């Protein structure tokens, strides 16, 4: 049961995910979360660094779709200046939004990675949908109401998996 919460990879930040390495592995698409993955949950627009990361992915022909449980206004205001596709009100961890993103990209599952900061939405949903998952450390330690609730559950799951030797990275929270 807990294996569905286990990401395939763990990185400190989105900036550790480089297009050259993705391409070497045959990755042509990214489904990424928005809040606390790309920017802090209360930051409206992309930082210059995030804009550069999106530009780098586009220059390397890697498609990126932002998939967020947040509302249309939040996700569109962030995504449109980056000229990237997005899915709002995704209802992660349900698989529908992940499959929709895959269909929009016209790629096979093995050509896509899912990136996010939450086990209960991004990793679980990506794993259920059959994608390679990458967990990033949340950008900030503050969260919205529902995410705070999720984080408590995640800490318990991570502690259990750490005790069982399933994860080896350190939890800095």
Residues 102-150: tens digit of each pLDDT: 999 999 999 999 999 999 899 999 999 999 999 998 887 766 666 677 7
In this structure, are strands 132-136 and 9-11 parallel, antiparallel, or unpaired?
A: parallel
Query: Looking at the domain assignment, is residue 106 inside a domain?
Result: yes
When pLDDT is averaged across residues 18-27 and rounded to a whole number, the result is 97
pLDDT of residue 170: 58
Query: Looking at the domain assignment, is residue 168 inside a domain?
Result: no
Query: Looking at the domain assignment, is residue 39 inside a domain?
Result: yes
Query: Looking at the domain assignment, is residue 74 inside a domain?
Result: yes
d(CA 96, CA 130): 12
pLDDT of residue 4: 86
Query: Looking at the domain assignment, is residue 129 inside a domain?
Result: yes
Query: Looking at the domain assignment, is residue 90 inside a domain?
Result: yes
- Contact of 115 with 79, CB cutoff 8 Å: no
Higher pLDDT residue, 160 or 15?
15
CA-based nearest residue to 161, from 114, 116, 124 = 124
Residues 73-100: tens digit of each pLDDT: 999 999 999 999 999 999 999 999 999 9
Query: Looking at the domain assignment, is residue 99 inside a domain?
Result: yes
pLDDT of residue 158: 78
Number of domains composing the chain: 1
Query: Looking at the domain assignment, is residue 103 inside a domain?
Result: yes
Which CATH number is 116's domain given?
Answer: 3.40.50.1000
- Domain extent at residue 65: 2-163
């Amino acid at each position: 049961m807990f294996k569905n919460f286990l990401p395939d990879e763990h990185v400190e930040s989105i900036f550790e995910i480089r297009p050259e390495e993705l391409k070497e592995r045959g990755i042509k698409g990214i489904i990424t979360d928005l809040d606390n993955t790309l920017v802090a949950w209360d930051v409206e627009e992309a930082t210059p660094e995030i804009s550069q990361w999106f530009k780098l992915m586009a220059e390397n022909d890697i498609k990126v779709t932002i998939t967020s449980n947040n509302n249309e206004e939040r996700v569109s205001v962030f995504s449109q200046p980056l000229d990237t596709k997005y899915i709002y009100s995704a209802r992660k961890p349900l698989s529908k939004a992940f499959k929709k993103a895959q269909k929009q990209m016209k790629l096979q599952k093995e050509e896509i990675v899912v990136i996010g900061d939450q086990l209960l939405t991004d990793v679980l949903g990506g794993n259920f949908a059959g994608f390679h998952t990458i967990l990033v450390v949340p950008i900030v330690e503050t969260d919205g109401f529902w995410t705070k609730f999720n984080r408590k559950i995640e800490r318990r799951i991570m502690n259990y998996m750490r005790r069982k030797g399933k994860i080896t990275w350190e939890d800095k929270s």
